[in-house]
Amino acid sequence: MKIKTADFVTSAPDLRACPAWNLPEFALIGRSNVGKSSLVNLLTGRRALAVASDIPGKTKLMNFFRINGNWALVDLPGYGYAKVATQDKHEFNRAVGDYLEKRRNLAEVFVLIDSRLEPQRIDLDFLRWLAGCDVDFSLIFTKTDKHSATQTRTRIDAFLAVIADFLPEPPPVFTSSAVAKTGEKEILAHIAAVLAAPSGE
């Protein structure tokens, strides 16, 4: 799939403020610093569409981008953002939880995992929760330029072995590197395939 247009549409603090459209949405989520903003820019081929920002106020919002006029990429707040005050943290977790549980036009969630790290508790807890939601999801292992392909594969296999405890079917797995500019073709091809499938499949 070629990205012809990628436009920032809005930032929503909660489900009610999300765009009133029926575009299929593909959401990205992961620990803060996992490389989510960099992946939005890699996927869309825009250098600063998602500003890699450290401002807590900004990173709490759900950011909507309309792509090619017929689908949307949704940049969800990173979880485990240490700088957010406890009260805010609760609020943003609830907003994201609402979105993931209730958004009707949510086509798929991409959960970003840092390929350099051992399986992290926070990612496993989130995946365990997400598995209970009625939504398809895939994993994207980011920052693969940091290791050899073999080391990355070993990490992915270790991660899949851990989640097999609570996920009977392994989810689709992708890899990406914003530095080496790899992975976006496979992820976009997957999105194109989901868009082309009759809805409900």
Name the residue nearer to ligand GDP (CB basis): 95 or 140. Answer: 140
Least distance in angstroms from the C-beta of 36 to ligand GDP: 3
Name the residue nearer to ligand GDP (CB basis): 44 or 142. Answer: 142
Residue nearest to ligand GDP (CB): 35
> What are the backbone angles phi and psi of residue 68, rounded to the nearest 5°?
50, 20
Name the residue nearer to ligand GDP (CB basis): 105 or 138. Answer: 138
Interacting residues toward ligand GDP by CB under 6 A:
30, 32-38, 52, 78, 142-143, 145-146, 177-179
Name the residue nearer to ligand GDP (CB basis): 130 or 177. Answer: 177
The Cα–Cα gap between 159 and 115 comes to 9
Neighbours of 24 (CB within 10 A): 16
Tokens (6 digits) for 153:
């594969």
Least distance in angstroms from the C-beta of 77 to ligand GDP: 10
Contacts for 52 with CB less than 8 Å, ≥ 6 apart: 37, 38, 41
The Cα–Cα gap between 72 and 5 comes to 11
Least distance in angstroms from the C-beta of 33 to ligand GDP: 4
Least distance in angstroms from the C-beta of 29 to ligand GDP: 9
Least distance in angstroms from the C-beta of 9 to ligand GDP: 18
- Torsion angle of C-alpha atoms 59, 92, 132, 120, degrees rounded to 10: 50
Name the residue nearer to ligand GDP (CB basis): 164 or 179. Answer: 179
